[in-house]
Chain A
Amino acid sequence: GAVVSQHPSRVICKSGTSVKIECRSLDFQATTMFWYRQFPKQSLMLMATSNEGSKATYEQGVEKDKFLINHASLTLSTLTVTSAHPEDSSFYICSAITGRVTEAFFGQGTRLTVV
């Protein structure tokens, strides 16, 4: 199947700093990418949907100024957690689809710890 690479896999940052997470589709062009957040023992919660070249669509309750999403090319989307706080510590996962294919391919996730 198609490969989605997410980097970094783990990151620890100080409170107040910003962290950028990259999501790349390695062998296909991702027209749409999704960013999820997973809390311990809970489900994956969709944060936002991004289409290449346009602004991301955020889910209700997700602060767009805090979680900046850029989808500048068909193979790369980035999530920047700005002014991170300990409550932003979580597991962030991206996924990508291409065209009308509804199967989504997932990155390996990024564990963010804000200290």
Chain B
Amino acid sequence: AQSVSQHNHHVILSEAASLELGCNYSYGGTVNLFWYVQYPGQHLQLLLKYFSGDPLVKGIKGFEAEFIKSKFSFNLRKPSVQWSDTAEYFCAAQPGNEKLTFGTGTRLTIIP
């Protein structure tokens, strides 16, 4: 079955540390990829998205993600995290014009 995998369930980092959250998908064809963030008590917000073109995508709040087709990956990165980045992060994939499929999410806790 088509799926999206996020292998890091809970990541704990100190402020200023670098972040990389893994995301792998299982679709073989064209796919749109997304990273969403959910801050405590708030709704899901789009961080960044990849449809085509440059595989290195820059999003809001200093986040970026790299699409590596050969690895079926779309990892999220940030060079220096802040306490305010504490949130739940969801990777999602959309093959063609089909429905969004979400990963299980990664809880990120930043220690001041």
Residues of A with Cβ closer than 8 Å to B? 1, 4, 6, 34, 36, 41-44, 46, 49, 93, 95, 102-109
Instruction: Please measure, in the bound complex, the distance between the C-alpha atom of A19 and the C-alpha atom of B44, giving whole angstroms.
Output: 23
Residue of B nearest to A49 (CB): B99
Do the beta carbons of B46 and A103 come within 8 Å of each other? yes
Q: Would you give the shortest CB distance from B40 to chain A, in whole angstroms?
A: 12
Given A46-B99, A102-B32, also A1-B46 (CB < 8 A): yes
Known: A41-B104, A43-B102, A44-B102. A102 touches B46 (CB 8 A): no
18 contacts between A and B (CB under 8 A): A4-B43, A6-B43, A41-B9, A42-B104, A43-B4, A43-B103, A49-B99, A95-B44, A102-B32, A102-B51, A102-B94, A102-B97, A103-B34, A103-B46, A104-B100, A105-B46, A106-B45, A108-B42
Partner of A93, one of B44, B49, B104: B44
B90 on interface, CB distance cutoff 8 Å: yes
Number of A-B contacts (CB under 8 A): 44
Provide the residues of chain B in CB contact with A4, threshold 8 Å. Answer: 43
Q: B residues bordering A, Cβ < 8 Å?
A: 4, 9, 32, 34, 36, 42-46, 49, 51, 90, 94, 97, 99-105
A42 surroundings in chain B (CB, below 8 A): 104-105
- CB contacts (< 8 Å) of B34 on chain A: these are 103
Q: Which of B43, B94, B97 contacts A106 (CB 8 A)?
A: B43
Contact partners of B90 in chain A: CB under 8 A: 43-44
| List of 10 A-B pairs having minimum Cβ-Cβ separation, nearest first | A108-B43, A106-B44, A44-B102, A43-B104, A43-B102, A106-B43, A46-B99, A107-B43, A42-B104, A102-B32
